[in-house]
Structure 1
Amino acid sequence: MSRATLARRFTDLVGEPPMTYLTGWRLTLAADLLRGSDEPSRPSPAGWGTERPSRSAVRSSAATG
């Protein structure tokens, strides 16, 4: 299956393109992890190197979304 076909089928099924869905999922995961964290420099398993970029991305997304 081609990437274009996969992307089209994914969008039809889920209602948004794969990268949009993935970005939202990562931001939700990061926000959940940040809510439970007291450590200022803990590495982020959501895909950012440390907690600071995670907080920045979540705040930015919340402000625009």
Structure 2
Amino acid sequence: MPRLSATPAAFTGGAGKSRTVTVTLTASAAGQPGVHHARLAVRTSTPYPAEPVSVTLNALPPASP
């Protein structure tokens, strides 16, 4: 996947709480037009696993002049 980043990259949350995370993709790093897939890994400090979040980028070809 092209450049993928999340903000905030780390945070502390309480049980049952939610947090909004902004995921940014840099389409110009894709190289080729098409559909690109990635998974955003989530790490926790609990004994329970966190499922990765699927991310899809639909990169379009450059517009013709």
Tell me if both proteins adopt one fold, taking TM over 0.5 as the criterion: no
With normalisation by structure 1, the TM-score equals: 0.28
Structure with more helix by fraction: 1
Q: Which of the pair has the greater relative contact order for Cα pairs under 8 Å at 6+ separation?
A: 2
With normalisation by structure 2, the TM-score equals: 0.28
Structure with more strand by fraction: 2
Tell me which structure has the larger Cα radius of gyration. Answer: 2
